[in-house]
Every structure is written in C-alpha cells, then in structure tokens.
Amino acid sequence: MTVLFFAAAGSAFAAQPCCQPVAQYRLEYVPTIERVEQTAYKKVYETQYVEEQVTTYETVWETEKRERRYSVSRKVPETAMTERRYTVQKPVDETEYRDTSYNITRLVPETSEREERYLVAKQVMETQERQVVETRRVPVQETTIEQRTYTVNKPVTNYVEQVVDKGQYVNQVNALPGKSYERLAWHRANYTDPVTGESKWRIPGFYWTTMQGPARTEVNKVYQPNYVTETVPVTTAVQEQRVEQVPVTRTTYRDEQIVRTEQVQVPRTVQEEVVRKIPVTTYKQVTERVEQQTPVTVRRMITEEKVEQIPVTTYKTVQEEKVEPYEVKVAKAVPVTRTVRKPVTVEKLVPYTYTIERKKMVVNRIPLNVPQDTVIKPAEKRIEKPTEKQTGDPADQVPVIETN
C-alpha cells in the first residue's frame, strides 16, 4: 500500500510513483445554527402587610334643648276707596304709499379654457436601520405615617345686653282744605267788595265765582319708637387644634433603558409635473331697475282721560311675642384605637430560562476525481477554523490518502 498526499481546491502535485492516479478534493463550508439554553434571574416585588396600633380621636355630638323668645309683627289690613284719574292713548291707523323701487343684478356666464401646471408628489419607500431606545418606568411604593393638623370650631354662648327698638306705627289725623273750583252763581245788584269793604252796585245775573269745597281729613301711619334694653345670647365659634396620624403612600418611578435595532420604511417624495386644461366660467353683471310702490300703515295716538275708583289697602302692625324651642349640638372628642395594616415591599429573584442561537461553521470534503483502487481515510479532525500554527487558507492543508 502506498501513502499519497493531495492538494485541495483544485491544486495537485506529482506523487511517487508517477504512474499512480491522484485523488483531488475541495472543502465546502456549511454554516449551521446551534440552540443553547441559558438561565437568568429577574426581580419580583411582593407586598406584605404589618399590623400597627393607631389611636385617633372621633367627634361625638350631643344634643341640648334651649328656648328662644322673639317678637313677631302681624299686619292688619284696612281698605279705603280712592279716585284716580289717568290718561289713555287710543291708536288710529292711516295708510301711506312709499317708493320702494330696487335694482336686480343678473350674472351672465362666459366659458373659456386655461392651462394649469402643477406638481404631483409620489412617495418612494426606502429601508433604513435605526436604534430605538425605550425607557421603562418601574413603580416603587413607599408608605409613611404623617401628622395631619386640623382645626375644629367649638360653639361658645355668651349673653350681651343690647338696646332693641319695640316701637310701632300709630294713626295721625291731618285736616286738609277742600279743593277750589269755578262755577256760575247768581249775584244780586248790591254787593260788598271783600277787599275794601265798600258797598257797590252791578247788574244782577250769573257770574263766574270761585267756590271752596268741603274740608276733608287724612289718616297717615307714623312710626313711634320705643327703646328697650334686653339681654341676648350670642354664640361664637372657638377654634381648637387637633393632630391625627395618617398613613401616606407615595409611588416613585425608576427608569430602565432598552436599546434595540429595527428596520424602518422611510418614504421619499419625488416631484412630477402634470399639465391639464381646466374650463373657466366667468360671470358678467347686468343691472335692471324694478319700480314698486309699497303701502305703509302709520299709527297716530289720540289722548283720552278716564276716572276710576281704586280700593287702597293699608296695614296696621301688631306685635306678638313667641317662644320657640330649638336644639344645639355639642361636640366631644373620644379616643378610638384601631389596628392598621402597613404595606411593605419585599424584593425576590425568580429564575427563568431562555434559548439563544449561535452560529457554527461545519467543513465537508467533496471528492473531485477519485480512482477506483483508492481508499479514502476520514480525517482525524475536521478543519473548522484556522489555528495560530496554520497560516494561510484552510483549503491549502493536505489530508492523508492510502492507495493499494
């Protein structure tokens, strides 16, 4: 058996002896993907509750009964008739004619064509890669106990002396002279002049004479004061400060950044000019005159005087004293102890498994020209990657071939 060497990638050399055929090979690199499972840990937050004793103060209201005395004024009506004179205006309609001629403008259309050039934008899609940075906000909760101060108004009643007017309205009678008027009266020949007191003579007959009507009385309501000193209860509010323990939960956020690469379709705009013809319609204005007479109704007012009797009601005030019971609520602070569950956040690490893909290169030997009596021994180790001692192309490495 003779041992021969061969050169890969199509190169060959003369073997000993020269009469024996030489086998040739080529190396084929096949990329493969290997899946590997890996284990990692993630943080998980759980909420646990701790019991605490908290004392607060609650307000308890108690009811007290009291009496309130006050004066009530009651009005008593009194009716009297009064004469009222007023003027009424009566409308009278009259018809007139007015000139309301107007102009009418008509539009006469005219059609023509014009050439219009405009640009049309077309979009061309291009693929680009960009890095996307995502920021996630992780919530973190914290609970603290704070003191809250609030003010409570407590009613306090004091008695104050004050002057109260308990006056009333009384009737006041006034005498009014009668109205003077002119009328025809019979006069004798002899009469006495009221200014000089002399006796004079005139022709007897009817003369216009000033007459005096009968006197009348008028009743008016006049207020008569009556000041009285009284003791009046006055309720005021006194402020009282109170402190309360209150749990306050605050949520804060922590930022986490994730960077990933993605392909984005970016549109690019290409301008293209288009020419088109557009029909254009223009309008010419033609004015026409329209004659018109419009009837208009004019209203004129006529004045008339009327007399009517009107009942007038007056009211007399009568004082009455009333007693009204009422209830007053009094606030008291009572301590109350409660058990409060305080939330506490606990951090834990939870394992989880994920699969990653790794690229691996496999080398196959493919024979090019193999003699019939040649036995090919498999290589002890496949060439996957050139080492530091193997310089040059891996295809230049020569495997061992045995021949009979």
Partners of residue 7 on adjacent β-strands: none
The H or E element that residue 68 is part of is strand 24-99
CA angle 332, 335, 338 (to 5 degrees): 140
DSSP three-state, residue 350: strand
Q: Which domain holds residue 356?
A: 1-61+301-404
User: How many separate domains does the chain show?
Assistant: 1
Percent of the chain scoring above 90 in pLDDT = 0
Q: pLDDT tens, 146-192?
A: 888 888 888 888 888 888 888 888 888 888 887 888 888 888 888 78
Q: pLDDT tens, 280-324?
A: 888 888 888 888 888 888 888 888 888 888 888 888 888 888 888
Region of poorest pLDDT, from 62-66, 240-244, 366-370: 366-370
How much is the average pLDDT of 7-29? Answer: 54
**For residue 258, what pLDDT is reported?**
83
**For residue 370, what pLDDT is reported?**
55
For residue 399, cis peptide bond before it (omega within 30 degrees of 0)? no
Region of poorest pLDDT, from 92-106, 255-269, 364-378: 364-378
- In a domain? residue 289: no
- In a domain? residue 48: yes
- In a domain? residue 92: no
**Residues 6 or more apart in contact with residue 37 via CB below 8 angstroms:** 353, 354, 355
**Confidence label for 369 from pLDDT (cuts 50, 70 and 90):** low
Region of poorest pLDDT, from 13-22, 67-76, 165-174: 13-22
- In a domain? residue 97: no
- What is the token pair recorded at 188? 């004798």
- In a domain? residue 171: no
Partners of residue 363 on adjacent β-strands: 29
Q: 């003077």: which residue's tokens? A: 180
From residue 74, how far is each of 35, 65, 316 by CA, in Å? Answer: 103, 28, 8
Model pTM score = 0.20
- In a domain? residue 131: no
DSSP three-state, residue 67: strand
* Amino acid symbol at 141: Q
pLDDT above 70: residue 264: yes
Report the relative pairing of strands 216-224 and 190-192 from DSSP bridges: unpaired
Alpha-carbon Rg of the chain, whole angstroms? 61
- In a domain? residue 153: no
Instruction: Give phi and psi for 319, each to the nearest 5.
Output: -90, 135
From residue 219, how far is each of 80, 85, 172, 308 by CA, in Å? Answer: 11, 21, 6, 22
Q: Quote the mean pLDDT of the chain.
A: 78
- In a domain? residue 179: no
Q: How many CB atoms lie within 10 A of CB 340?
A: 14
* Cβ pair 343, 249 in contact under 8 A: yes
